[in-house]
Amino acid sequence: MSGAVARRFLALVFPMLPFERLRATRPTLFGDDAPVALTQRIGGTERLAMVDPAAARAGLATGGTVAAARAVVPALIALPADPHGDCDWLERLAEGFARYTPQVRLDPADGLTLDLSGRPGDDATLVADLETRLARRGVIVRHAFGGTPAVARALARFAGGPAPDEAGAVRRLPVAALELEAEETEALVAAGLRTVGDAAARPQAALAAQFGRAVVEAVRVLTDPRAPLPPLPTPSARQVDRALDAPAMAAKTVLAEIAAALAPLVAEMTAAGEGGCDWEAALFTGDGQRLTLRVETPEPGQAAAPVLRGFARGWSTLAERLAAGGGCDLVRVRVLRAAAIGTGRLALEGGVAVRPDRAARLRRSAPAAAVAPSQLGLAFADPVVDADRLPAETAPAERVPESLGPVRAFDPPSADRSRRRGGALARARAVRPTGLPLRRVPPQIAGQHKWEQ
């Protein structure tokens, strides 16, 4: 179709993510050259769930017991695996890739997928940039491009033979790239189907009859170009980026860039009659991190100064991390939430006046001696009950009795006290607060609360 945007996805895999997380968050735990393994209890026995390169060079592999591993490598550092901590770390990595695209998807437990559709620039430059930033943090990454997220993921995670194009590369992937159950993968290999292309060459009906529909669907996802795709990435409508010529760490420099980004956003909202209620300033660092400052205001505003002061107050929370990340080289300011100026505000604060028909209803519902809300400078946006439509029995009384006497509760009430209170209560039932519409209580409900005598 003419004018259609070519879809392009970049899959990233971080094979050493758990160890990189530990070295970044607990740097004093072990040295860079120490052999480290992550453990998991299986059937009452501690086993190796993952080993780092140093442990692998020493001859250790996943699946072995911790006791046997220590016998081979006495200096082994064994730590329990933490999938939740790894997922949190993956989310932090994902935040940094927002500089390239707003569409960054988690691919647990150690991968990300970036939707680069419609992004200007060439792929090689982008990959070189992100690899340089990750290397500053000691993060190892594998990557691959694909026309669908599934293809990009498979090419990044599984090695195949050289091919002239993407379709050929997919067909040369091992059947493990279908990511089926272990029994299904073994059955395919036993039947002589060792690559995705081998499985795709079989008729679907025969493949389904021999191995099941799950195998057919897995092959279709990788080989069918008509596979469904996620929606195109849509950047924030109210967002301004400021690229710095050199990484900056000084508050004065970074806040000046934030102020420069605020100016066009404020001008745009002023022209639309809106104000910002929730603002975010994202600072992208030289090592691929994304640090954020956020300011929320109780009312929508069109002034940049209060927002900038809010960002300045939060600066101290990021200064140390910004310096550790090599400074900020990109500032992004976004309006996360905006509202029309004057919505729900009082007239004496400069809000929009109430509609004339509602103001008239307010005046009609007030007693003659009362002061109309418009005379006090108040404007209410919520509708009120029109006094002309109230039943006669709920009309306002002319006066309130001066005293109803003391009210005391007795269980059950004595007869003489009930008689003394009877007159006062009768008068009280006839009294209605001035100018306030009341609801009638159905007799069947009111009767449930009468004393039995």
- The string of pLDDT tens digits covering residues 387-413 is 344 444 444 444 444 444 554 544 455
Strands (E), 73-175: 77-80, 104-107, 111-115, 142-146
Fold agreement (1-157, 239-335): no
- CA distance linking residue 99 with residue 282, whole number of Å: 10
Structural domain spans, the chain = 1-157, 176-235, 239-335, 347-390
User: Helix, strand or coil for residue 193?
Assistant: coil
Which residues neighbour 147 within 8 Å (Cβ) at sequence distance 6 or greater? 7, 8, 9, 166, 225
CA angle 14, 17, 18 (to 5 degrees): 155
> Which residue stretches of the chain have pLDDT < 50?
1-2, 344-404, 407, 409-411, 417-421, 424-426, 428-441, 445-453
Could you report the per-residue pLDDT of 127-176, keeping only the tens digit for each? 999 999 999 999 999 999 999 999 999 999 998 778 889 999 999 999 99
Q: What is the pLDDT of residue 33?
A: 82
For the segment(s) 239-335, the CATH number from 3.30.1490.100, 1.10.760.10, 3.30.750.200, 3.30.1490.20 is 3.30.1490.100
User: What values do phi and psi take at 49, rounded to 5?
Assistant: -90, -25
- CA distance linking residue 371 with residue 54, whole number of Å: 83
Q: List the structure tokens of 47.
A: 């086993």
- CA distance linking residue 13 with residue 140, whole number of Å: 8
Domain 1-157 = CATH 3.30.70.270: yes
Q: Cβ distance 152 to 169 under 8 Å?
A: no
Q: Identify the residue whose tokens are 């699946």.
A: 63
pTM of the full structure: 0.72
User: Helix, strand or coil for residue 332?
Assistant: strand
Q: What is the pLDDT of residue 349?
A: 43
Could you report the per-residue pLDDT of 220-275, keeping only the tens digit for each? 999 987 878 888 877 777 999 999 999 999 999 999 999 999 999 999 999 999 99
Please state whether beta strands 9-13 and 36-42 pair in parallel, antiparallel, or not at all (unpaired). Answer: unpaired
Task: Give CA separation, 139 vs 23, 53, 130, 168, 288, in Å.
Answer: 10, 13, 11, 30, 10
